[in-house]
């Protein structure tokens, strides 16, 4: 019979009321702390307005003794954990490669080596590979959770350092009858004394923790279910659906979505662009107060939509407002005397190059209202608490002291054509990192990859299938014979009104098109060959993500509905593309 799998939350009773020392206590938070040989639990609860800790065995719940020195060790571990996972605010300035307060962390675990229950094994699972742990702490509370795990610095673990920091992973603690599991994403790796220390946080928690709803106010008694769904979805946490009680049935309702266009003044009453209206609209006192704080010229823009929730209405409405803003930009950037780039008549046309200077944009302030119930939300869509600046100090001074960087900049000065493609790839990848839009990230990364794989060899449809079926490519003679046979079968012998010369010309064009299409190399095989040729550390999951990226990009170009993607997948794509680029730059400089 297999072992029962339980979560860390199950083992720590967070939110439950249990009996401790003959008292009914509600557990506020808890930790599982362990080393390679043993582990124990620490349950935290409030009694008589004081924070209390109860130390217990992992299996029986029987209390364990902890000395004053060992209690100091636990405090040290808590501090190290909370310095990254439990932080609820982010500084304005981030110190690149900054050191967290981990002094004495490894020694703290060593001092706890005799506390609690002897265990079979503990490991970190990444890409289906198990890595034994030297120490670990799993933390959970009503609102958060996370982990620190430590691995010894040896050759078996060094391959972990090639992983992207957003990599999915799982912690497993193997007990006599149970397996305790915790899943999340790697958000930080650093070296502490003699160990690699991984900080693990579920991505939805990481995003929600570092998000804020700027100046959000709700009016007219918004339903709490609607409010919670709006909060979770605007955080873009990767949570795709919020479950509501069956008694609460979502239905289509009319909403008004109001936004602000910056650097635009409209002196026309009731200007309409498609379904979007520009001009005055009744909102709320809170929205008007926030609107007055926006500096410079600005104009209110709004649209009515029908949807089942505030968030879906906001998402649809914001897109429409954004498209209206883009259409205004497109119109005023016209570079011909005749409006709409020469497609309109010449009535009321005036052109001046000054119209190309101002850039208008949609602000982050929005007002949402349910037209039936009057429920409304005013909020600023500046979600992130992320740092506004970054400091590079002596800890990262050596980052740019590389010969290949000097060589790359020399190539830039020499206007090297091969280098130029990689320069443009850098620009597109940087744009991908900058944008907040997930689909823009995919498009920018796809464009960067086009520049990166330029000049690489790949497989055409014949060779791709031949390798799959008989483990070798077609010879040039075989390939030519197959293509000639296909072209011959496609020859058109007669079309009414076509002369023999016309038919010959048409058949020649068809033949060239068939030949070019059948001999063109596949993007994915070019990319795969590049990855293999340079031995770039890309996992199978990451390769699949790259294929999905190309598919999503092609669907967009051909007007096919794209699949939903998560923010974390979009960020992973940025990291994978950047990794491929750096390998290609260094290989190109080395003449590969």
Residue 31 token pair: 């930790």
Residue, of 282 and 386, whose pLDDT is higher: 282
pLDDT at 1 over 70: no
Domain ranges of the chain: 4-208, 212-380, 402-457+523-589, 461-519
H or E segment and range at residue 330: helix 310-332
How far from chain centre, in Å, is Cα 226?
25
Residue 370, beta-bridge partner list:
255
Tens-place pLDDT, residues 145-160: 889 999 888 877 777 7
**Cβ-proximal residues to 31 (8 Å cutoff; 6+ apart), any chain:** 12, 41, 42, 44, 77, 78, 137, 138, 139
Residue 126, beta-bridge partner list:
129
Q: Which long-range contacts (CB under 8 A, 24 or more apart) does 311-317 make?
A: 311/229, 311/230, 311/233, 311/234, 313/255, 313/257, 313/368, 314/230, 314/234, 314/255, 314/257, 314/366, 314/368, 315/233, 316/257, 317/255, 317/256, 317/257, 317/259, 317/368
Q: What is the pTM of this model?
A: 0.79
**Helix, coil or strand: residue 456:** coil
DSSP secondary structure letter of residue 520: S
Q: Specify whether the CB–CB gap between 204 and 239 falls below 8 A.
A: yes
Q: Specify whether the CB–CB gap between 541 and 549 falls below 8 A.
A: no
pLDDT at 246 over 70: no
Computed over every residue of the chain, the mean pLDDT equals 85
C-alpha 564/C-alpha 546 separation (Å) is: 15
Tens-place pLDDT, residues 421-464: 999 999 999 999 988 888 899 999 999 999 999 888 877 788 88
Lowest-pLDDT range of 45-54, 184-193, 341-350, 405-414? 341-350
pLDDT at 111 over 60: yes
Count other Cβ atoms within 10 Å, centred on residue 99: 11
C-alpha 509/C-alpha 185 separation (Å) is: 53
Beta strands (DSSP E) in 202-329 are 214-219, 253-262, 271-273, 276-278, 298-307
- List Cα–Cα distances, 562 to 161, 178, 326, 439, 494, in angstroms: 33, 42, 21, 9, 42
Tens-place pLDDT, residues 281-321: 999 888 999 999 999 999 999 999 999 889 899 999 999 99
| CA-based nearest residue to 569, from 438, 436, 445 | 438
C-alpha 483/C-alpha 175 separation (Å) is: 63
C-alpha 375/C-alpha 219 separation (Å) is: 6
Lowest-pLDDT range of 16-25, 357-366, 377-386, 481-490? 377-386
- pLDDT above 70 covers a percentage of the chain that reads 92
pLDDT at 88 over 60: no
Tens-place pLDDT, residues 183-238: 988 888 888 887 888 889 887 777 666 655 556 777 777 777 777 777 777 766 66
How high is the pLDDT of residue 236?
Answer: 64
| CA-based nearest residue to 523, from 576, 467, 579, 447 | 447
pLDDT at 357 over 70: yes
């Amino acid at each position: 019979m297999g072992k029962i799998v339980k979560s860390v939350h199950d083992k720590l009773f967070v939110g439950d009321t249990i009996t401790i020392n003959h008292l009914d206590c509600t557990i506020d938070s808890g930790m599982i702390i362990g080393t390679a040989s043993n582990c124990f639990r620490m349950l935290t609860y409030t009694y008589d307005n004081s924070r209390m800790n109860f130390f217990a065995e992992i299996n029986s719940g029987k209390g364990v003794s902890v000395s004053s020195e060992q209690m100091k060790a636990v405090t040290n571990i808590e501090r190290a954990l909370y310095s990254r996972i439990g932080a609820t605010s982010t500084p304005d300035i981030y110190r690149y490669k900054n050191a967290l307060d981990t002094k004495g962390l490894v020694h703290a675990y060593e001092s706890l080596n005799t506390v609690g229950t002897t265990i079979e094994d503990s490991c970190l699972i990444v890409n289906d590979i198990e890595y034994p742990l030297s120490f670990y702490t799993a933390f959970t509370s009503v609102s958060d959770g996370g982990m620190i795990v430590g691995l010894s610095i040896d050759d078996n673990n060094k391959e972990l350092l090639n992983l992207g920091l957003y990599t999915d992973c799982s912690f497993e603690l193997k007990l006599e009858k149970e397996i305790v599991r915790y899943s999340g994403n790697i958000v930080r790796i650093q070296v502490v004394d003699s160990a690699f220390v991984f900080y693990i946080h579920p991505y939805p928690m990481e995003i929600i923790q570092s998000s804020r709803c700027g100046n959000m106010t709700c009016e007219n008694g918004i339903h709490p279910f609607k409010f919670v769904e709006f909060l979770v979805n605007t955080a873009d946490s990767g949570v795709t659906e919020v479950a509501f009680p069956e008694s609460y049935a979502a239905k289509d309702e009319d909403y008004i979505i109001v936004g602000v266009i910056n650097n635009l003044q409209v002196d026309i009453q009731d200007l309409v662009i498609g379904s979007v209206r520009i001009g005055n609209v009744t909102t709320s006192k809170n929205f008007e107060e926030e609107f007055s704080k926006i500096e410079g010229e600005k104009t209110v823009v709004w649209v009515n939509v029908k949807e089942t929730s505030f968030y879906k209405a906001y998402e649809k409405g914001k897109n429409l407002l954004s498209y209206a803003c883009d259409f205004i930009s497109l119109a005023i950037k016209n570079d011909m005397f005749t409006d709409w780039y020469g497609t309109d008549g010449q009535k009321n046309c005036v052109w001046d190059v000054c119209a190309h200077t101002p850039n208008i944009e949609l602000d982050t302030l929005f007002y949402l209202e349910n037209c039936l119930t009057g429920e409304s939300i005013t909020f600023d869509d500046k979600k992130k608490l992320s740092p506004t600046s970054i400091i590079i100090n002596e800890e990262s001074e050596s980052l740019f002291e590389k010969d290949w960087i000097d060589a790359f900049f020399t190539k830039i000065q020499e206007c090297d054509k091969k280098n130029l493609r990689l320069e443009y790839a850098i620009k597109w990848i940087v744009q991908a990192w900058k944008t907040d839009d997930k689909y823009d990230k995919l498009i920018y990364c796809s464009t960067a990859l086009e520049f990166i794989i330029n000049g690489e060899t790949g497989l055409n449809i014949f060779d791709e299938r031949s390798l799959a079926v008989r483990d070798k490519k077609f010879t040039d003679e075989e390939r030519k014979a197959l293509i000639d046979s296909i072209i011959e079968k496609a020859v058109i012998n007669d079309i009414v009104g076509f002369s023999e010369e016309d038919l010959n010309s048409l058949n020649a064009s068809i033949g060239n098109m068939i030949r070019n299409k059948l001999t063109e190399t596949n993007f994915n095989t070019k990319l795969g060959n590049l990855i293999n040729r340079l031995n770039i550390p890309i996992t199978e999951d990451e390769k699949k993500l790259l294929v999905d990226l190309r598919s999503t990009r092609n669907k967009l170009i051909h007007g096919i509905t794209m699949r939903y993607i998560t923010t974390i997948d979009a960020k992973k794509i940025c990291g994978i593309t950047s990794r491929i680029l750096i390998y290609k730059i260094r290989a190109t400089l080395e003449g590969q």
